[in-house]
Chains A and B, each alone.
Chain A
Amino acid sequence: MSLPDANDRVTGGTPLLEVKGVTLQYRTRQHVVTATYRVSFDVHRSERYVILGPSGCGKSTLLKAIGGYVAPVEGQILLAGEPRRTPGPDRVFVFQDFEQLLPWKTVCENIVFALTAAGRWRPREARERALHYIAKVGLTEFAHGYPHTLSGGMKQRVAIARGLAMEPQVLLMDEPFAALDALTRARMQEELLQLWEEARLTVLFVTHSISEAIRVAQRILLLTPHPGQVRAELNSTGEDVVGADGVRLSARIEELLFGAAWRSSGAAHD
């Protein structure tokens, strides 16, 4: 499968999603914790954009803010130039949690539910659409089964099919493969890239795995932890290439995120 080169992308025009100096806080019982501090970045249409950082860098909170679940205390989030303050079907979420499918609905009904709840499709069209996208993720046999009969990977495929069927402006994926085993995870990454080839949807993907970020991304945003701040924004071709400076991309990312602390502490490699 040939992936388009990072330089092939159309990067002109206004970005689809603009995150401008966003500070996010959440409350625990005793404290107000700052999850991200003045984070800014742009995502263009049809881009595969990955937010990468260690735990505690506020990447999931950032994604929730873009999804409209958390309001920024400072800064702005604009989708196609408009601020969005509540969750809505123009920004569909794929969660890490396998339990994001309604257990009382079959695979097909889960997708039909999403399509009709948004009010954009009539039940009959929604059904055809649902079956079409179920076929795309290769689950036709299981279309009328209930979620509890599926494996974790299959559930995530259904969630992705549901997201694709909605044709959102941007698909928000919050570590969707983190709870899968390594083999399934690698396969799901390939499938996601194939689906993207067909649909050319804007994908915003959060992960803590460097190898996954390199595989999935066209552009990678690196966040440092406590609080989350932008460290760098890099391009990726999908391969762990050796750059002009003779350093592998993965090694560069490790250096940027962990610096000297990385080598001395010998933190686990993902």
Chain B
Amino acid sequence: MTDARIPLVRPERLESPLPASDVVQQPLGVWTRAWDNGGLRKTMLLVVLLATWEGYARWLDNPLLFPTFSATLVALLNGLASGQIPRAAVFTMSLLLRGYLLGLVLAGVLVACAAASRLGSDLLETLSAMFNPLPSVALLPLALIWFGLGNAGVIFVLVHAVLWAVALNTFAGVKAISPTLRMVGQNYGLSTLGLITRVLIPGAFPSLLTGAKVGWAFAWRTLIAAELVFGVTSGSGGLGWYIYEQKNELRIPEVFAGLLTVTLFGLFVEHVVFRTIEVRTVRRWGMQT
């Protein structure tokens, strides 16, 4: 027995490791890669959901209450072919985009003021606390009195729907930016405006995007609801009006086709437009995983 207190002296050991590149990296299997593809996973979910819809509607067998997916698809294709749905969609979209973009710009101005001064941030917090809980549609009667029966009233309401969600989210993002980044911006001699446009806005981009998504959904809801409740507010109607008209004539598959169009737009904007922006910005920059 050796004394446990005396450490065992062992000779030194030197080895030269061989290059072994195939151990370091191995390709993933086909299934693993397919399952990693978010598009594929979501498509699968969508197929399951549509199959459930079709199965339930067939079992219910009441086209007035709940038409099948296939009937809805036929109604949608008919609507597309007759040009009724595309016309309504274009009308809704043009109104929506105008209100949405105006809302984004105003939110940007408000957040810039809030980022530049304490009084500005007080203003943003107070205004959003007062107006954010007001449902946009509740403002529509007022807007119609102020702006008359035209697009201006609807755009006013859309701006209200978008502005607060985007401004609040973006400002939360600005507040979360590391003080070091601000100091870096000041170090290289940026003015207040330069600091806002070149450091604070890109730094708040993940929250800004979330705000933009929430604002987009609010804008859609507001516009469709406004058209459903108040009908045609100007010359021709949009998707909400289309749904309303079809309901009056009890053409329920057409109502579903109108709703389906709205959800398709939602899917497209979320998965193509916003996803592309995300991949090219926040994910590429490592600010979001």
Give 6 nearest A-B pairs by CB, closest first: A148-B286, A87-B186, A117-B188, A97-B180, A103-B285, A104-B202
Q: Which residues of A contact B (CB under 8 A)?
A: 67, 69, 86-89, 91-93, 95, 97, 99-100, 102-104, 113-114, 117-119, 146-149, 166
Docked CA distance A102–B284 (Å): 13
What residues of chain A lie closer than 8 Å to B185, measured between beta carbons?
117
Q: How many of chain B's residues have a CB under 8 angstroms from any CB in A?
A: 22
Q: Is the interface of B mostly helix, strand, loop or mixed?
A: helix
What residues of chain A lie closer than 8 Å to B187, measured between beta carbons?
67, 87-89, 91-93
B189–A102 contact, CB under 8 A? no
In the complex where A95-B180, A104-B287, A146-B286 touch, is A117 in contact with B190 (Cβ < 8 A)?
Answer: yes
Q: Is B271 an interface residue (CB 8 A)?
A: no
- The B188-207 residues at the A interface (CB cut-off 8 A) are 188-190, 194, 198-199, 202-203, 205
A102–B202 contact, CB under 8 A? yes
Closest to A95 in B: B180
What residues of chain B lie closer than 8 Å to A103, measured between beta carbons?
203, 285-287
A89–B184 contact, CB under 8 A? no
How does the 8 Å CB contact mask read for B23-63 relative to A, with 1 for contact and 0 for none?
00000000000000000000000000000000000000000
Docked CA distance A97–B179 (Å): 10
Docked CA distance A86–B186 (Å): 9
Q: Which residues of B contact A (CB under 8 A)?
A: 178, 180-181, 183-190, 194, 198-199, 202-203, 205, 281, 284-287
What residues of chain A lie closer than 8 Å to B203, measured between beta carbons?
102-104
B198–A87 contact, CB under 8 A? no
18 additional contacts, CB 8 Å, given A89-B187, A92-B188, A104-B205?
A89-B189, A91-B187, A93-B183, A93-B184, A97-B180, A99-B180, A99-B181, A100-B180, A100-B181, A102-B199, A103-B287, A104-B287, A113-B198, A117-B185, A148-B285, A148-B286, A149-B286, A166-B188
Closest to A150 in B: B286
- In the assembled complex, how far is the CB of residue A248 from the closest CB belonging to chain B, in whole angstroms? 29
A146–B285 contact, CB under 8 A? yes
In the complex where A104-B287, A117-B194 touch, is A87 in contact with B181 (Cβ < 8 A)?
Answer: no
- In the assembled complex, how far is the CB of residue A68 from the closest CB belonging to chain B, in whole angstroms? 8
Closest to A64 in B: B183
A-B CB contact pairs (8 Å), 29 listed: A67-B183, A69-B183, A86-B186, A88-B187, A88-B189, A89-B187, A91-B187, A92-B188, A93-B183, A93-B187, A99-B181, A100-B181, A100-B184, A102-B181, A102-B202, A103-B203, A103-B285, A103-B287, A104-B205, A104-B281, A104-B285, A104-B287, A113-B188, A117-B188, A117-B194, A146-B285, A146-B286, A148-B286, A149-B286
